[in-house]
A and B are shown apart, each in its own frame.
Chain A
Amino acid sequence: MSSEQEAESIRCLVAKVGLDGHDRGAHVIARAFRDAGFEVIYSGLHKAPEEIVQAAVQEDVDVLGISILSGAHDTLVPKIMDGLEEYGAKDDTLVLAGGVIPDEDREGLKEAGVAAIFGPGTSIEETIEFVRENAPQR
């Protein structure tokens, strides 16, 4: 292995936002991403949108996965997107949403800039594949 070779790794932030204490899904995703060879930063529970933005910007993540099971996605996700835009990070961060998100809300989230929404029943492989194919080339 040449030490000069590029050592790029896909960096992901797995984030729990708002008043939502259900983090099993986020844990499963974090672990699966790690096993797929990604570098995963886990935010911890009950984070405010600003905290997620701060972490995403400072860690310079390629992928931001937001897990929401509280139903507050229509409020929280746009706040995160605005924050990313403020720091010039919106365009080259792949934002994913997971959790319980009704079909009728999906269009709105996509318009806000979410690349894909993975609801209950999505296979882990599918999610990993999506990240591999769509992680931004910088």
Chain B
Amino acid sequence: MTMDADDESLLEALLAGEHRALARVISKIENRSPGYRELVSELYAHTGDADVIGITGSPGAGKSTLVDKLAEEYRDRGETVGIIAIDPSSPFSGGAVLGDRIRMASAVGDMDVFVRSMSARGTLGGLSTATADAVKAMDAFGKDKIIIETVGAGQNEIDIVRTADTVAVLVPPGSGDDIQTLKAGILEIADVFVVNKADRDGADRTVQELREMVHLGEESGLAGGSGGHHGADVMSGSDAAVEATADEDEGWTPPIVETVATKGTGVETFIDELTNHRTHLVDSGTHAEKVRQRHAEEIRTLLREDVHSLLEDELADSGGIDGLAEAVRLGETDPYSIASDMLAPVETCIENLETETRGDGSSQE
């Protein structure tokens, strides 16, 4: 892949540590502007050094405040920090108010804490790709720690947060039955649990309930504990057989940390647990497996999106989707027939490719 001169100098500026260049590259990624793919593809060579941490939890759990304190503590330890704060956007106007920045006060005046707010632009699926690419940009820029912060609301958020090596799930005290509702999906992805606002009533009980849940999960192998990311994997529907073995966090029991983010209490313990998990990943060899799996997912997503856009073009050539939909409405045809007809030339193409390349060992998949 080749880049044009502008992107070339932009990449150089980013690698040289210019903040503006990093900001501009992330914009290009978000906008999917021409040339962004070449840019990201060049970035890959410079990545792999950063520690990526995902933080998720229900709205009001204190994510932004905790992230702020986390960044402050990392800075005190002399490490540079990149933060990607994700907010939902309105599905109607496409607009969004990104407010996480307000609570990130300690990052102020310190350009070595790079905070970037992102929102879903229309397609939610695209956000996890954009987030992963933005992480690459920050990694290449030289950030030591990259924190992704997102509301834990559903599958898309889980996909986003899985870009991280270590995932922390925030649980506010007094959640009680909320823990039950959290169970589906969000709890399984936790490598570390944080009971924030631990000075409030009910914190002890929440810790207790979480502890029970973690242990139950360990015994049944279904949730939390050694099961790791099973739930999320099954839902994402990709190669289950591969990932079941790949995602086994052998021997890691998610610790439960109590914090009071507004006062900074417990933040050091939290960081220690994050470090422990990182060490565990590397020592057990799970890290390499995780990274491999993440790249596999990236390749799949890219292929899916590329094929999708190819088909969009074909769709436009054959008169656009409205005409086809109208034909279905009038009972002239059905969606399955249309899909088969449209895919037929693609299938023929692939078959031809297979015959052509047979023998030289290169796979077309």
Question: A7, B20: Cβ atoms under 8 Å?
Answer: no
Instruction: Please give, as numbers and ranges, the residues of chain A lying within 8 Å of B126 by CB-CB distance.
Output: 3, 7
Least distance between B75 CB and chain A CB atoms (Å): 14
Interface size on A, residues (CB 8 A): 37
A129 interface residue, CB < 8 Å from B?
no
Closest to B96 in A: A39
Instruction: Please give, as numbers and ranges, the residues of chain A lying within 8 Å of B26 by CB-CB distance.
Output: 60
Of A40-48, A74-82, A108-116, the one touching chain B: A40-48
Question: B99, A37: Cβ atoms under 8 Å?
Answer: no
Question: B123, A39: Cβ atoms under 8 Å?
Answer: no
Closest to B111 in A: A54
Classify chain B's interface size: 35 or more
B362 interface residue, CB < 8 Å from A?
no
Q: A121 CA to B356 CA in the complex, in Å?
A: 70
Question: B108, A6: Cβ atoms under 8 Å?
Answer: no
B121 interface residue, CB < 8 Å from A?
yes
Instruction: Please give, as numbers and ranges, the residues of chain B lying within 8 Å of A34 by CB-CB distance.
Output: 90, 93, 95-97
Question: B101, A7: Cβ atoms under 8 Å?
Answer: no
Of B211-219, B253-261, B306-314, B345-353, the one touching chain A: B306-314
Q: A3-B123, A6-B31 are in contact. Are A58 and B309 (CB under 8 A)?
A: no
Q: Which of A4, A9, A44 contacts B94 (CB 8 A)?
A: A9
Chain A 6-41 near chain B by CB (<8 Å), digits 1 or 0: 111101000000000000000000110111111111
Chain B 76-102 near chain A by CB (<8 Å), digits 1 or 0: 000000000000011001111111011
B115 interface residue, CB < 8 Å from A?
yes
Chain B 185-222 near chain A by CB (<8 Å), digits 1 or 0: 00000000000000000000000000000000000000
Closest to B109 in A: A50
Chain A 46-68 near chain B by CB (<8 Å), digits 1 or 0: 00101100110111100000000
Question: A8, B98: Cβ atoms under 8 Å?
Answer: no
Q: Which of A1, A41, A89 contacts B98 (CB 8 A)?
A: A41
Q: A54-B108, A88-B20 are in contact. Are A3 and B305 (CB under 8 A)?
A: yes
Q: A105 CA to B123 CA in the complex, in Å?
A: 45
A122 interface residue, CB < 8 Å from B?
no
Instruction: Please give, as numbers and ranges, the residues of chain A lying within 8 Å of B305 by CB-CB distance.
Output: 3-4
Least distance between B85 CB and chain A CB atoms (Å): 10
Q: A93 CA to B185 CA in the complex, in Å?
A: 41
Q: A1 CA to B23 CA in the complex, in Å?
A: 26
Closest to B34 in A: A6
Q: Which of A2, A37, A42, A88 contacts B308 (CB 8 A)?
A: A2
Interface residues of B in 17-32 (CB under 8 A from A): 19-20, 23-24, 26-27, 30-32
Instruction: Please give, as numbers and ranges, the residues of chain B lying within 8 Å of A42 by CB-CB distance.
Output: 97-99, 101-102
Least distance between B51 CB and chain A CB atoms (Å): 20
Q: Which of A1, A11, A58 contacts B122 (CB 8 A)?
A: A1
Q: Which of A43, A54, A60 contacts B24 (CB 8 A)?
A: A60
B270 interface residue, CB < 8 Å from A?
no
Closest to B21 in A: A88
Q: A7-B31, A59-B116, A60-B24 are in contact. Are A87 and B101 (CB under 8 A)?
A: no
Chain B 307-337 near chain A by CB (<8 Å), digits 1 or 0: 0110011000000000000000000000000
B128 interface residue, CB < 8 Å from A?
no
B117 interface residue, CB < 8 Å from A?
yes
Chain B 109-146 near chain A by CB (<8 Å), digits 1 or 0: 10100111101011101100000000000000000000
A-B contact pairs, 8 of them (CB 8 A): A2-B313, A34-B96, A40-B96, A51-B108, A57-B19, A57-B23, A58-B114, A60-B27
Chain A residues engaging chain B, CB cutoff 8 angstroms:
1-9, 11, 30-31, 33-44, 48, 50-51, 54-55, 57-60, 87-89, 138
Give me 17 other A-B pairs in contact (C-beta within 8 A), A50-B109, A59-B23 excluded.
A2-B308, A2-B309, A4-B306, A6-B33, A6-B34, A8-B31, A36-B93, A39-B95, A39-B96, A42-B101, A42-B102, A43-B101, A55-B101, A57-B19, A58-B19, A58-B23, A89-B20
3 A-B pairs closest in CB distance: A44-B102, A34-B95, A60-B23
